[in-house]
Each structure stands twice: as structure tokens, then as C-alpha cells.
């Protein structure tokens, strides 16, 4: 017998039943096809966009992000320049291809801009996010040809561009948007109704470790700084 059959057989023997069929299996399939929400904390309940934004910013700061707010996408390049200069960081960065069309860097000529993924040599990356979770100050980033994952981890400083309308309350609302945005036409069934990207990263603050005597240090392997530029929209 194959290891697979052996293991499944052993599970069924321990559970005292055969493989599930009929209604029992159909119910489980249904549970997968229409994922229910479990208990969701009240923390974000009843908050409008402004309330969610405030909560997100508070939480992100609590977990060691820095946050700047700007009025429009046009103001992002200057906010990036100002941040790098304030933090004494080199005036170079690599931006996600997804941002290349949206950001106009012509007004910040002192910045050296590269577009693509990171080869580990860049100091700073600038990326969009898919959503942000106010409940815990968490960013959700998805991998794609225009949003390569390396940008989220390799540079020492990560600047995330977040639009206000991307902020949701609990994590479950972010998944709801995620499923809707990635829905496949005319499909049904588990894992079949939407596409998963290779990676989804939920990021809450900059990289850290407590492995040396339980003293927290920022910048263990991933970014030392996580800066959010929040764009009103």
C-alpha cells in the first residue's frame, strides 16, 4: 500500500469509519465552497472610513511602523524623498512595476529610481499593497508579475503606498475583497472559484527578533523600517 493510502486508512480506522461520502462529504464541500466567518472581534465594528483609518494608523504605529499622510498619489514621490532625507537614507529606491504608471517621479530628480524586483542590493523599496487591516495595523500584499515578493523582504527599508479606501476592519474583510478581486468567471467549488497568487504576505510592522535574551531588535532579516504613505482617495 502506498504511504498515502496507509495514512488515510489509519486516520479512518482511528475515527472508526470509512471515507466520507454522500451528505457528509457534500456538507464539508459546502463549508469549503462558502467559507463562513467565525467570531470576529468588535474592535472594528461600526467604524466608518475615517474611524478605520484612525484605528489602522494607531495600530500600525503601535507595532513600529511610521505613517505619513498625503492628499493624492501625485504627492507620493515628494513624500518618499522627504522620508529618505529625514531618515538619512540614500536617495535611491526600487519601485514595484505596478507603481510605474501611477507615480510621476519627474519632480524629484535627486532620487534614483529602479523598477522591478530586488536583487538584495537596494536600500529601499516602494510597493503598493492589496489591502490593509485596521484591526491589527496589518498590510496585505499579494505577489504578481507587477508586485514581486522580493520587494517586501530584501531591502532594508520598505515604503508601502496605501490608499485610504483599501483599509478594511477585520482580516476577514480583506479576504472578502481578495476573493472578489480574484474571482474566476463561471466557476464553483473549493479552491476553484478564485485564484491564489503564489504568495500572500500579511505584514505587521518591520522585521524583528527576540532571540538574543528576549530583547527585541528590529531588522532581523527583513526590513528594519516599514513606512506607510497613506493616500487620501
Partner 1 sequence: MQSTSRNFKDNAHKALNDATLQRALLNVKSGFQENRARTVAGLPEFERLRDAGRDIKNHVLANLDFYLERFEENVTANGGHVHWCRTPAEAREKILEICKRREAKTVTKGKSMVAEEIGLNDYLEENGVEPIETDLGEYIIQLRHEPPSHIIAPAIHVTREQIAVDFRREHSDLDPNRRLEEPRDFTDEARAKLRDKYFAADVGITGANFLIAETGSTVIVTNEGNGDMTQLLGKAHVVIASLEKIVPTLEDASTILRLLARSATGQEMSVYTSFSTGPRRSEDRDGPEEFHVVLLDNGRSAMLGTEFQDMLRCIRCAACMNHCPVYEAVGGHAYGWVYPGPMGSVLTPSLIGVEEAGHLPNASTFCGRCESVCPMRIPLPKMMRHYRQREFEKGLSPQKARAGLSVWSYVATRPKLYRLATRLASGLLGRLGKVKGRLTTLPLAGGWTSVRDMPAPEGKTFHDLYRDRQAAKGGRE
Query: Cβ of residue 154: shortest distance to partner 1, in angstroms?
Result: 7
Query: Cβ of residue 187: shortest distance to partner 1, in angstroms?
Result: 12
Query: Cβ of residue 158: shortest distance to partner 1, in angstroms?
Result: 10
* 68/193 with CB nearer partner 1: 193
Query: Cβ of residue 162: shortest distance to partner 1, in angstroms?
Result: 16
- Say if residues 80 and 229 touch (Cβ distance below 8 Å): yes
Q: Give dist(CA 131, CA 180) in Å, integer.
A: 13
* 108/152 with CB nearer partner 1: 152
Classify burial at 224, counting beta carbons within 10 Å of its beta carbon; exposed 0-12, middle 13-18, buried 19 or more. Answer: middle
Side-chain half-sphere exposure of 202, counting CA atoms within 13 A: 12
Query: Cβ of residue 82: shortest distance to partner 1, in angstroms?
Result: 26
- Say if residues 120 and 151 touch (Cβ distance below 8 Å): no
Beta bridge partners of 112: 92
* 11/232 with CB nearer partner 1: 11
* 63/69 with CB nearer partner 1: 63
* 216/232 with CB nearer partner 1: 216
Q: Give dist(CA 9, CA 116) in Å, integer.
A: 48
134-153: burial string, b at 16+ Cβ within 10 Å, e else: bbbbbbbbbbeeebbbbbbb
CB atoms within 10 A of CB 20: 14
Amino acid at each position: 500500500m502506498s504511504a498515502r493510502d496507509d495514512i488515510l486508512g489509519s486516520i479512518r480506522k482511528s475515527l472508526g469509519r470509512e471515507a466520507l461520502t454522500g451528505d457528509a462529504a457534500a456538507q464539508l464541500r459546502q463549508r469549503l465552497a462558502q467559507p463562513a466567518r467565525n467570531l470576529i472581534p468588535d474592535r472594528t465594528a461600526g467604524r466608518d472610513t475615517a474611524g478605520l483609518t484612525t484605528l489602522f494608523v494607531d495600530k500600525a504605529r503601535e507595532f513600529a511602523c511610521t505613517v505619513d499622510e498625503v492628499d493624492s498619489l501625485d504627492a507620493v514621490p515628494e513624500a518618499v524623498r522627504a522620508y529618505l532625507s529625514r531618515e538619512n537614507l540614500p536617495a535611491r529606491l526600487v519601485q514595484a512595476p505596478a507603481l510605474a504608471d501611477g507615480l510621476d517621479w519627474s519632480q524629484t530628480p535627486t532620487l534614483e529610481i529602479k523598477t522591478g524586483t530586488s536583487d538584495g542590493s537596494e536600500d529601499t523599496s516602494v510597493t503598493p499593497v492589496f489591502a490593509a487591516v485596521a484591526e491589527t495595523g496589518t498590510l496585505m500584499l499579494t505577489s504578481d508579475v507587477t508586485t514581486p515578493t522580493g520587494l517586501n523582504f530584501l531591502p532594508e527599508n520598505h515604503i508601502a503606498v496605501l490608499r485610504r479606501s483599501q483599509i478594511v476592519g477585520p482580516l476577514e474583510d480583506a479576504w472578502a475583497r481578495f476573493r472578489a478581486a480574484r474571482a474566476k468567471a463561471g466557476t464553483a467549488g473549493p479552491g476553484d472559484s478564485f485564484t491564489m497568487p503564489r504568495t500572500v504576505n500579511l505584514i505587521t510592522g518591520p522585521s524583528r527578533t527576540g532571540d538574543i535574551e528576549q530583547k527585541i531588535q528590529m531588522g532581523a532579516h527583513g526590513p528594519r523600517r516599514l513606512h506607510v504613505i497613506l493616500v487620501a482617495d
